[in-house]
Amino acid sequence: MFDKELYLNNLQTDRVGRNIIVLDETTSTNDEILKGGYQFGDVVITNLQTKGKGRSGRVWEDNGNSLIFSICLNEIDEDLILPFNIIAGYSIVDALREYVDCYLKWPNDIVINGKKAAGMLIEANTQGNTVGDVVFGCGINIFTKEFSDNIKDTATSLALNTDNELSKEIILANIINNIEEYLIDYKNEMLRLERVWDKYSNNLNKEISIHIGSEKQKVKELGITEVGALIIEDLETGETKEILSGEIGYGFSS
Ligand code: BTN
């Protein structure tokens, strides 16, 4: 059971995560926020998520051993949505590096030794042309030691990579502390995402396979832009491109 007091004792923010709602069980913390009634910075966490959503219609598996949380981003400037993903990625990597050596696999995954330990998903509901509720959700494999056949070759967890004591409450507080600080720094131009990419990226200067829609290309990762778009070099044509959405495969042939 998530200990709210322990979490709040470790939280150092002014706004983000101050209001935290702990649910015993829910289908999806992202869906909970998308139902409405939440404000910027509110956090929903659950002890068990039964229908977790991943990117591209995939499922996010949970058996109570993961840290599952969503942050309400209502009224965030639309231009901040792509950078927020990277800012959150940096925040999570820095919090998890207290325990394990981990990296960001653009744009949504945190990896340890090349295997996925966490995933992030930003969603919004729209009414006509207007953006309604916006949510950032994240699932981190903390204590899980066995995964389903679908993901067992590509998934890992913190517990599989450290013997140190792990606390969901302290990890979440540290992530939220980082998110608030890095968001302020980004807005003040004190954090330049593209300048620190080498500290975080799992694939910088490596040859990767990138999936854009149904297409798959072999490319080299060159960096990210100031808003978090991925800069790649097409290995067949030598052309350099910036991409705003897509997914990097696990392994060069995947
Ligand atoms: C991915 O790796 O494809 C993204 C996974 C995102 C999972 C999180 S868990 C909390 C939030 N609620 C959901 O239903 N999904 C996100």
d(CA 218, ligand 1 centre) in Å: 27
Question: Is the distance from the beta carbon of residue 41 to the nearest atom of ligand 1 less than 6 Å?
Answer: no
C-alpha distances in angstroms, 30 versus 4, 45, 67, 152? 19, 10, 13, 24
Model confidence band, residue 48 (pLDDT cutoffs 50, 70, 90): very high
Question: Is the distance from the beta carbon of residue 249 to the nearest atom of ligand 1 less than 6 Å?
Answer: no
Residue 116 has which token pair? 């996925």
Percent pLDDT > 90 in the chain is 85
d(CA 237, ligand 1 centre) in Å: 35
Collapsing DSSP to helix, strand or coil, 155 comes out as: strand
pLDDT of 122-176, one tens digit each? 999 987 778 889 999 999 999 999 999 999 999 999 999 999 999 999 999 999 9
pLDDT of 80-103, one tens digit each? 999 999 999 999 999 999 999 999
In this predicted structure, what is the pLDDT of residue 251? 59
In this predicted structure, what is the pLDDT of residue 126? 83
Backbone angles phi, psi at 67, to 5 degrees: -95, 115
Q: Are strands 230-234 and 115-127 parallel, antiparallel or unpaired?
A: unpaired
Question: Is the distance from the beta carbon of residue 28 to the nearest atom of ligand 1 less than 6 Å?
Answer: yes
Beta bridge partners of residue 212, listed in sequence order: 215
**Counting atoms of ligand 1 from 1, which one is nearest the CA of 139?**
9
Residue 85 has which token pair? 């993903």
